[in-house]
Amino acid sequence: MLEGKAVIGEADMLQTMQHDALDLASKALDFFDVTEATEIARFIKKEFDRTHEPGWQCIVGTDFGSFVTHCSGCFIYFCIGSLAILLFRGSTTPKAEES
């Protein structure tokens, strides 16, 4: 498990879902090398789609910027060492402060 290793940068997500995201990242890193960012992202996205309804997007890497509009309660950004993981369900209506 990643307790103590994962650092959550920002989250708009229930604690149980945050735990699921960290758990899936841990499993992905058991299956794939840290250099296989696309495979890690695919694994996390597909599992979150399966367990928390479809529509999730996952970005994994060591150096990326992002600006996304997400559904309320459906966003987490965390790091495991130098690997950053952004997981969110997209939304078509931006929040007022994002405009």
- DSSP string for residues in 55-71: -EEEEEESS------EE
Domain boundaries, the chain: 6-92
DSSP 80: E
The segments of the chain whose pLDDT lies below 50 read: 1, 99
Residue 1 has what pLDDT?
47
Residue 91 has what pLDDT?
80
Q: Which fold has domain 6-92?
A: Protein Inhibitor Of Neuronal Nitric Oxide Synthase (3.30.740)
Q: In what order do the strands lie in the sheet with 6-13?
A: 6-13, 70-80, 83-90, 56-61
Residue 5 has what pLDDT?
87
Residue 11 has what pLDDT?
97
Distance CA 92, CA 42 (A): 22
Residue 96 has what pLDDT?
59
